[in-house]
Amino acid sequence: MFNPEIGSWDSFNAFAQCLHHHGMGQIMDIVPNHMGIGGNDNIWWLDILEHGLASEYAVYFDIDWQPVKEELRGKVLLPLLGDYYGVVIENGELQLDFNPSLGQFNIRFYNHQLPIDPKTYPYILERRLDQLAEYLTEDKASFLEYQSLITAFKHLPSRDDIHSEKRAERLRDSAIYKRRLAEFCQQHPLISTFIHDIIITLNGKVGQPKSFDLLHHLLENQAYRLAYWRVAADEINYRRFFDINELAGLRMENPEVFTATHRFILDLIKSRKIDGIRVDHPDGLYDPARYYQRLNQLIIEIENEASHKVSNEISKASYYIVIEKILANYEHLPESWPICGTTGYEFAHINNGLFVYPSSQKEFKQIYTRFIRHPLDFDELLYKCKKTIIQTQLSSELTVLTNMLDNIAQSDRHTRDFTLNGLREALTELLACFPVYRTYMDINQVSEEDKRFVQWAVAQAKKRSPATDISVFDFIQSILLRLETPTGLDIYREVIPFVMRFQQYTGPVMAKALEDTALYIYNCLISLNDVGSDPRSFGVSLAAFHRANQERGQRWPYGMLSSSTHDSKRNEDIRARLNVLSEMPDKWRKYLNRWARINRSKVQNLNGVRAPSRNDEYLFYQTVLGAWPLLEMDTKRLANFRSRIEIYMIKAIREAKIHTSWINPDAEYETAIISFIQSVLGNIEKNPFLADFLPFQRYIAQFGLLNSLSQTLLKLTAPGVPDIYQGNELWEFRFVDPDSRSSVDFSLRQQLLQELTSLTSTDQPLKLCAYELLKNKEDGRVKLYLIWRVLNLRAKLPLLFQEGSYLPLPVQGIKADHLCVFARKYQREMMISIAPRWLSLLGSDENKLPLGDSCWGETWIEVPEIEENQYFINILTDEIINITHYHGKHCIFAAKIFTSFSVALLVPSSFKLN
The domain spans of the chain are 9-33+252-342, 53-241, 352-375+560-744, 377-520, 746-908
pTM for this entry: 0.93
Q: Are 286 and 500 in contact (CB under 8 A)?
A: yes
Do residues 334 and 438 make contact, with C-beta atoms less than 8 angstroms apart?
A: no
- The neighbouring-strand residues paired with 890 are 885
Give yes or no for a contact between 288 and 294, defined as CB atoms under 8 angstroms apart. no
Q: Return all residues near 254 (Cβ < 8 A) that are at least 6 apart.
A: 59, 60
Long-range contacts of 419-428, Cβ-Cβ distance < 8 Å, separation of 24 or more:
422/467, 422/469, 422/472, 423/472, 423/476, 424/398, 424/399, 425/465, 425/467, 426/461, 426/465, 426/467, 426/472, 426/473, 426/476, 427/398, 427/401, 427/402, 427/476, 428/387, 428/390, 428/391, 428/398
Query: 352-375+560-744: which CATH architecture?
Result: Orthogonal Bundle (1.10)
Report pLDDT for 180.
95
Distances 907 to 388, 787, 875 between C-alpha atoms, Å: 54, 16, 7
Alpha-carbon distance of 484 to 491, in angstroms, equals 10
Block mean pLDDT (10 aa), the chain, length 914: 82 94 94 92 95 96 91 94 96 96 95 96 93 82 90 95 93 96 91 93 96 97 96 92 94 96 94 95 96 94 74 61 95 94 97 98 98 96 97 93 93 90 96 97 88 97 90 94 66 86 96 97 98 95 97 96 95 98 98 98 96 98 97 93 97 97 96 98 94 97 98 98 96 93 93 91 90 96 97 95 97 96 95 97 84 93 87 95 88 95 95 61
Other CB atoms closer than 10 Å to residue 414's CB: what's the count?
11
Predicted confidence at residue 303, as pLDDT, reads: 83
Ranges of H-type helices in 211-335:
213-220, 232-235, 255-270, 288-307
> Measuring CA to CA, which residue among 105, 101, 142 is closest to residue 120?
105
Cα dihedral sign, 742-743-745-749: positive
Give how far Cα 686 sits from Cα of 642, 643, 692, 767, 891, Å: 17, 20, 11, 43, 55
**Distance (Å, whole) CA 811 – CA 855:** 15
- How do strand 859-862 and strand 811-813 relate by DSSP bridges? antiparallel
SS3 699: helix
In sequence order, the β-bridge partners of residue 61 are: 250
Residue 373 CB-density burial (10 A; 0-12 exposed, 13-18 middle, 19+ buried): exposed
CB-CB contact of 585 with 360 (8 Å): yes
Q: Of 627, 802, 857, 631, give the one whose Cα is nearest residue 732.
A: 627
DSSP assignment of 536-572 equals T-----HHHHHHHHHHHHHH-TT-EE-S--TT-SB-H
Cα 797 to Cα 286: distance, rounded to the nearest angstrom: 41
List C-alpha distances in Å: 383 to 427, 562, 593, 838.
13, 28, 30, 33
pLDDT digits (tens, 9 = 90+) for 738-788: 998 889 999 999 999 999 998 888 888 999 999 999 999 999 999 999 999
Distance (Å, whole) CA 2 – CA 9: 7
CB 303 within 8 A of CB 269: no
Q: Is 612 exposed, middle or buried (0-12, 13-18, 19+ CB in 10 A)?
A: buried
Residue 413's pLDDT is what? 87
- CA–CA separation, 381 and 387 (whole Å): 10
CA 294-295-297 angle, to 5 degrees, is 65
Count of CB atoms situated within 10 Å of the CB of 754: 10
Count the Cβ atoms, other than its own, within 10 Å of residue 487: 9
> E strand or H helix at 755, and its extent?
helix 746-760
